């Protein structure tokens, strides 16, 4: 399903036009619909895989929890793309007047797509961009298992690794929520207001404190993350 979507994106790029939200012609609308169906099927298969992972017993408990939590956040993050498919006010106005529109939906909140963007990723520098939380949520399934593998390589005790993974998963989910909240209010990632800054500071402080507590051994509460250097 993902290969099919990438192929359509490549085809539309080769034609010099956008792939997502493009309904300017019958061909464009058909390709966009096929992409939507493919992603819906892929998400459904991901849910089935997540159920299997939650039922599985893992020899490495920390990696198991990383996969379970990562799957849930990734599915929620992927599903957040549905927020991008709602027609904007301008698109609805075009539909009412001309019964036609070149696009349905968009990733920018507060302005049309295509404004100044950040280097490499293209996320809006001036307005909210739903691609930011979508990206963060989507890649939890890579971030958390990688963290689990790093902890395993450091030979942390299993109980501590499980606590750290659960803490990291909660932190990742919270960051996704904050970034989604920011984007829906039309704020650029690089121009947060005081409320967003406060939320991010609280997230960082709580994450740091929770990681320290999770890293401490129940048998020796004073022993915290200093064991990073142990072989």
Q: What is the pLDDT of residue 218?
A: 62
Q: CA 67 → CA 50, 147, 149, 168, 210, distances in Å?
A: 8, 11, 11, 12, 20
Q: Is 52 exposed, middle or buried (0-12, 13-18, 19+ CB in 10 A)?
A: exposed
Q: pLDDT above 90 covers what percent of the chain?
A: 72
pLDDT tens sequence across 89-103:
787 887 788 777 778
Coil vs helix vs strand at 193: coil
Q: Nearest 10 degrees: CA dihedral of 156, 157, 158, 164? A: -60
> Per the structure block, which two tokens stand in for 230?
């142990």
Helix, strand, coil percent values for the chain (each to nearest 5): 65, 5, 30
pTM of the model: 0.87
pLDDT tens sequence across 118-129:
999 999 999 999
């Amino acid at each position: 399903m993902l290969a099919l979507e990438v192929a359509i994106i490549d085809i539309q790029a080769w034609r010099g036009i956008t792939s997502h939200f493009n309904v300017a012609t019958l061909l464009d609308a058909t390709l966009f619909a096929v992409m939507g169906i493919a992603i819906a099927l892929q998400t459904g298969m991901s849910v089935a895989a997540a159920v299997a992972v939650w039922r599985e017993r893992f020899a490495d408990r920390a990696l198991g929890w990383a996969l379970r939590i990562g799957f849930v956040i990734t599915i929620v993050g992927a599903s957040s793309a549905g927020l991008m498919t709602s027609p904007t006010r301008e698109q609805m106005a075009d539909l009412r007047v001309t019964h036609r529109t070149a696009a349905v939906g968009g990733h920018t909140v507060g302005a049309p797509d295509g404004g100044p963007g950040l280097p490499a990723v293209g996320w809006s520098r001036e307005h909210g961009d739903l691609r930011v939380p979508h990206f963060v949520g989507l890649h939890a399934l890579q971030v958390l298992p990688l963290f689990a593998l790093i902890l395993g390589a450091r030979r942390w005790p299993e109980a501590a690794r499980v606590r750290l993974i659960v803490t990291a998963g909660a932190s990742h989910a919270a960051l996704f929520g904050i970034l989604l909240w920011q984007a829906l209010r039309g704020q650029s990632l690089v121009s947060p207001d005081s409320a967003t800054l406060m939320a991010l500071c609280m997230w960082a402080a709580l994450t740091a404190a929770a990681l320290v507590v999770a890293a401490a051994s129940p048998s020796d509460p004073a022993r915290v993350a200093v064991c990073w250097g142990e072989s």
